[in-house]
Structure 1
Amino acid sequence: MADKVTGARTEVGLTVEVSPEKLWEIITDVSRIGEFSPECKGGAWLDHDSPGPRAGARFSGRNEFEGGFVGEVTCVVTESEPGRVFTWVVLDGEEDPARPGSTWRYELSATEFGGTMVRQTFVHGPGDTGLRVMVADLTPTAAEAGIQERLAQIREHMTETITAMSERG
């Protein structure tokens, strides 16, 4: 059966009243994510001698899901342009950045009135994840419904997180 999950993606675009430089500082301070996200409750740089945000830097993330499931992940920064782009991959048990469970990306651009246009994208990778396990034995129709439900939840959480970062950051 064909892969039902790889390539599933979603994105949000919001204009916020925070400069790209300030928003960049908030986004890349992974230790603060729990202040803003309804799902990701904590993060920490793992490379203590040379912490991020820089390409190749690693950080941990702790997610809490409905039903009480808690997941711990390791992430690797793949792109880091101060004030512009921050991208990372979430590793699965194989820990191969070329085959991540997912890729997350923030793109920031200044607006003419001092704010920022934020575009955040999520792309499901070929690696193992809870979503892949969840839909593995479902019919194609049920699997697609489950994937779309999760993508809608991710969009909602991305919107809530960006909004909180811009208001409370």
Structure 2
Amino acid sequence: MARPYHDCVQIHIRAEPRTVWNLIADVTRMGEWSPVCRRCAWIAPATGPAVGARFVGHNRMAGLRWSRECEVVVCEPGTEFAFLTHVRGRPSTLWRYLLASGDAGGTQVIEQYTVSPTSASPRWAEALQSIPAARRRTRAATRAGMIQTLQRIKTTAEAASLVRP
């Protein structure tokens, strides 16, 4: 089994933390910003963000398509939103968004993920991660996608915000 790995990116957004958090925590909008996630939907009875709420995310990258059931594990308005993806009912990847008031106003946002490979990981994913060049390309593409996602959230939040630099 491969070792756990993680990465993080950050961005400054000229909008209040609560405004930014509201965008991020509305997982039904993630398809607007992410180059990988195409859409998300809450799983009944959930209708919005709350610890324990579940949703399904539908993804596509490099010709591959997959869906993951996710569970919200941290839901602190204006501060943090985190969810855990599941593969075959077992925890797989923790995604976290940490928000803090920036020094120059606005919000500093950190997006991070930690993959904890488990025996539930699909064999093709484990095989892919065992090839160093493929692992580097996959991680580089994930990082690029995170940067693009945060940039798109920034554009949306700043367009809707009255906060000035």
TM-score band by shorter chain is: 0.7 to 0.9
Give the Å deviation of 1:61: 0.3
The answer as to whether partners of 1:52 and 1:58 remain within 8 angstroms in 2 is no
Residue identity (%): 29
Is the partner of 2:87 in helix, strand or coil? Answer: coil
1:68-98 per-position Cα deviation (integer Å, ceiling 9, x unaligned): x2111100011111111111111001x13xx
Pick from 107, 110, 114 the counterpart of residue 105 of structure 2. 114
Pick one of 41, 47, 62 that aligns with 1:51.
47
Shift of 1:150: 1.3
Aligned residue-pair number: 156
1:71-82 matched pairs, under 5 angstroms: 71-82=66-77
Q: 1:160 aligns with which of 129, 140, 148?
A: 148
Q: Distance in 1 between matches of 2:156 and 2:103?
A: 22
Aligned counterpart, 2:116: 125
The within-5 A match list for 1:23-34 is 23-34=20-31
Q: Which of 48, 61, 66 is the matching residue for 2:57?
A: 61
Aligned AA (2:146) = M
Q: Is the 8 A contact 2:128 2:135 kept in 1?
A: no
Pairwise CA distance, 1:7: 1.1
Per-residue deviation, 1:135: 4.4
For the residue of structure 2 that corresponds to 1:52, the secondary structure is coil
| 1:116-166 superposed Cα distances (whole Å, 9 cap, x missing partner) | 111111111133445x6244278x6xx233222211111110110011011
RMSD of the TM alignment (CA)? 1.9
Counterpart selection for 2:92 from 95, 101, 104: 101
**1:28-60 Cα shifts (integer Å, max 9, x gaps):** 111111111100010011133x43311111011
TM-superposed CA distance for 1:105, in Å, is 0.5
Contact 2:74 2:83 in 1 (8 A): yes
- Give 1:101 shift: 1.8
Higher strand share: 2
Which consecutive residues of structure 2, in runs of 5 or more, have no partner in the other structure?
158-165
